[in-house]
Structure 1
């Protein structure tokens, strides 16, 4: 069940599962999603780990503030949440935008990080024109104007046909995203330039992705792998952007194996 806490001057929605004395793991969601995007990941972790999921600013049930946001601001939200919960060090796993937030924390708050799992993410997201096009659609049609294109980027066609119930859940999650929250967070992704920052990351790092991800590509993951010392890269075959939902067994095996190796 979601709880709410004030951190970094906003109300943040979060949920905690797993043993009270387990090593803490924060899970950070993608653009246009909420903490429910981790539902298929949770069972692989909660026997051992204290899992803290949260809704990023402007998403789910967390507070929407006027945009644009920055990745630095979204990272400060997560660190403030951590502090408000009295947690000094944690493992961080994030997918897409969540992975961008985790990169920033790894580089700028090293004392707080036990490990990083950077999933289907990138350190830069050009071109700017692509984002301006999406912003124009959202301003004229609302989030509904982006749903179909987003689902096609997030999943391979055979998964869309094979798991209509999962797709419906994802569709509802996308549609629940407030327009202002989307614009604020998407601006942060658009303006991000974190490649040189990656050299500062010292924590053990897993780079995990769907090999067919068209949004944050295998090539973008190899940049992360090349620039982050002590990193390993795992690509899951026949998976696109939300590889944790599309190939949960493979994703969970890789993530759990990595966390156990660090812990």
Structure 2
């Protein structure tokens, strides 16, 4: 599966945002935000662990999946405003929020700027700053000249450890197709938001219960970067997922689901 099925769209800040609900209609809302070059199907490995209790809201950020592509560059603040706009459109007053990579960067903005809307934050495989700028310019140039096909192999090798790539070809192929389905302009628009991000001081404003989750072998958003979040977000707790790189939710779904479920159980 490379895209969410049975999605709906709603206009948010001039952009059509694709979303899908799963789980009980009267359950507390758990909003899930995807990584760069991903769509809501990246949570397929995790959904069953949460839909017994939560009304899970998966969505595609602007430029990704089945949401509209509009001219970039975008900013993390803009993407966070889209998330709040989606909650407004769906008449959801408060939600638990789980985001991975750029999804976690969006979560940092939500916790700092919209505290009245956020019941808890699960910030997974993410960071508050992402230097160097030159790295992003190189990737954007590759995307412009070769499309996402020019980035897919390097991305897979960052997102997963070598043993997982070897033992789980079916999972890897699903992720590969998800990456290849990403719009180049949407990728560059959101990638620019990551490139330009500087949010460390913003973390001091976050008061919602927060889980910081890192993959032991994540080269993209390292354990050390997770420790920065943990130290600057008052009262947050940190979990390190062993034998996992960047998409720890796919590489170690049992450990990932357990860590997030235990956290959510403690705050609901």
User: 1-side partners of 2:95 and 2:54: how far apart?
Assistant: 10
Offset at residue 246 of structure 1 (A):
0.2
1:59 aligns with 2:64: yes
1:102 aligns with 2:107: yes
State the number of aligned residues.
263
Query: Which secondary structure does the structure 2 equivalent of 1:76 belong to?
Result: helix
Counterpart residue number, 2:89: 84
1:237 aligns with 2:242: yes
Alignment of 1:61-210 (within 5 A): 61-210=66-215
Q: Structure 1: give runs of 5+ residues left out of the alignment.
A: none
User: 2-side partners of 1:61 and 1:232: how far apart?
Assistant: 34
Offset at residue 225 of structure 1 (A):
0.3
Which consecutive segments of 4 or more residues in structure 1 shift more than 4 A? none
User: 1-side partners of 2:9 and 2:131: how far apart?
Assistant: 34
User: 1-side partners of 2:45 and 2:96: how far apart?
Assistant: 18
Offset at residue 227 of structure 1 (A):
0.3
Offset at residue 209 of structure 1 (A):
1.6
Counterpart residue number, 1:46: 51
Offset at residue 230 of structure 1 (A):
1.4
Counterpart residue number, 2:39: 34
Deviations 1:117-150 (A, max 9, x none): 0000000000001001101111111111000000
User: 2-side partners of 1:233 and 1:209: how far apart?
Assistant: 8
Query: Which secondary structure does the structure 1 equivalent of 2:10 belong to?
Result: strand
Q: Structure 2: give runs of 5+ residues left out of the alignment.
A: 1-5
1:7 aligns with 2:12: yes
TM-score, normalised via structure 1 length: 0.99
The alignment's C-alpha RMSD in Å is 0.5
Offset at residue 188 of structure 1 (A):
0.1
Counterpart residue number, 1:249: 254
Offset at residue 27 of structure 1 (A):
0.1
